[in-house]
Amino acid sequence: MLTLSARFILGAVFVYASFDKILHPAAFAEAVYNYQILPDELINLTAIALPCLELVLGIFLIINFWMPGTVLMCNLLLTTFIGALLFNMARGLNINCGCFSTTAVESSMNVLTVLRDTSFLAISGYLLYAIFFYKK
């Protein structure tokens, strides 16, 4: 079933994405700071809470729990990430994406990153449609 695979794929992506960031909060905080979007006061809180949110969303997607909220939150989160990436690419900031790891070498922001996140958003959008708009 399409929704089952979508849930599992997206759930796995979120869970996987959260690991390195939960393990290295200081490095992730550095990455969040480098985006130069949030005010300084919110950086650490975001660095601590965001990976946990990703983990929770990933698990809930897989176990099919609180689906309306989970899927809505996934869409909001991915849209925000893509927005932040595009915004910083537009203003020429070349920084560590911080998407899947906190090491600077592996994950610089570029068009590929945006495309990758957009494909996640497509899966997430499909789930949104399945939950809210699909009528038998």
Report the interface residues with another protein, using CB under 8 A.
1, 3, 22, 25-26, 29, 33, 36, 40-41, 43-45, 47-49, 51-53, 55-57, 60, 64-73, 76, 127, 130-132, 134-136
Straight-line distance from the first to the last Cα atom of the chain, in angstroms, rounded to the nearest whole number = 15
Nearer to another protein, 63 or 115 (CB): 63
Quote the least distance from Cβ 111 to another protein, whole Å.
Answer: 18
Nearer to another protein, 70 or 101 (CB): 70
Quote the least distance from Cβ 21 to another protein, whole Å.
Answer: 11
Quote the least distance from Cβ 55 to another protein, whole Å.
Answer: 8
SS in 3 state form for 67-118? HHHHHHHHHHHHHHHHHHHHHHHHCCCCCECCCCCCCCCCCECCHHHHHHHH
* DSSP label of 38: S
Quote the least distance from Cβ 131 to another protein, whole Å.
Answer: 5
Nearer to another protein, 44 or 116 (CB): 44
Separation CA 24–CA 125 (nearest Å): 30
Contact by Cβ (8 Å): 69, 83: no
Contact by Cβ (8 Å): 97, 109: yes
Nearer to another protein, 116 or 128 (CB): 128
